Amino acid sequence: MTHVKITTGKRSWRELITALKAEVTQWTEGRLWWWRGLILAWLVYIAVRHLSDPLYTSLFGGLDLGIHEGGHLLFSWAPKFIMVLAGSFTQCAAPLIAAWLFLRQPDYFAVPVCGAWFADNLYSVAAYVSDARAMELPLVSVGGGQTEHDWNYILGSLGLLRWDTFFGGAIRLLALVIMALSLAAGAWILWTMARSSKQPASSP
């Protein structure tokens, strides 16, 4: 199957969106939607759980925690502030990098899945930030050493500790918006697949 070549140049955002929509529509032709629909249904479940419980942790949680701690190790050479911030930064960067890689393949349905994963991470960070003063959340450290509350240190270093719940709420709102947009994009892609009358292509 051929794909439309999308180039930026001096094209307007409207033209870029139209070109991307044509590319995605062409990509969906002949592809199976039903198993992707199960993934989308699971993501909807995660979204609903996050709305009802600010401390909810999805199946992404274990992976996110591993990436978070890996971020600390990756930046262990950096000044303490950067090293501490790297945990939350790395766990949020991972789904964005994954989305970019899927976009290059391309696998357009995987991109909104990564968007939902990103939102899931933001919900986790929001809970962590909101807990900066209370420090009631259970903490995990690599090697089982003494733990330090990342966001208590980050906001405290910036003199913004009293704003922890405000920042946490803002991040949670951003997570809600990104999750909604990702689910809407995923649903549109599945709808486009389902209404395609062509036979399944060679790729699943």
The predicted-structure confidence for 130-170, as pLDDT tens digits, reads as follows 999 999 988 776 555 567 899 999 999 999 999 999 999 99
Q: What is the pLDDT of residue 148?
A: 86
Task: Report the predicted TM-score, pTM, of the whole model to 2 decimal places.
Answer: 0.87
Q: What is the pLDDT of residue 145?
A: 54
| Alpha-carbon gap, residue 200 to 204, rounded angstroms | 8
Lowest mean pLDDT among 91-95, 155-159, 179-183, 197-201: 197-201
Residue 90 near residue 79 (C-beta atoms within 8 A): no
Q: What is the pLDDT of residue 144?
A: 52
User: From its phi and psi, is residue 20 left (phi > 0), alpha (psi between -120 and 50) or beta?
Assistant: alpha
Report whether the peptide linkage leading into residue 106 is cis, meaning its omega lies within 30 degrees of zero: yes
pLDDT at 173 over 60: yes
Share of the chain above pLDDT 70, in %: 88
CB-facing half-sphere around the CA of 116: CA atoms within 13 A: 26
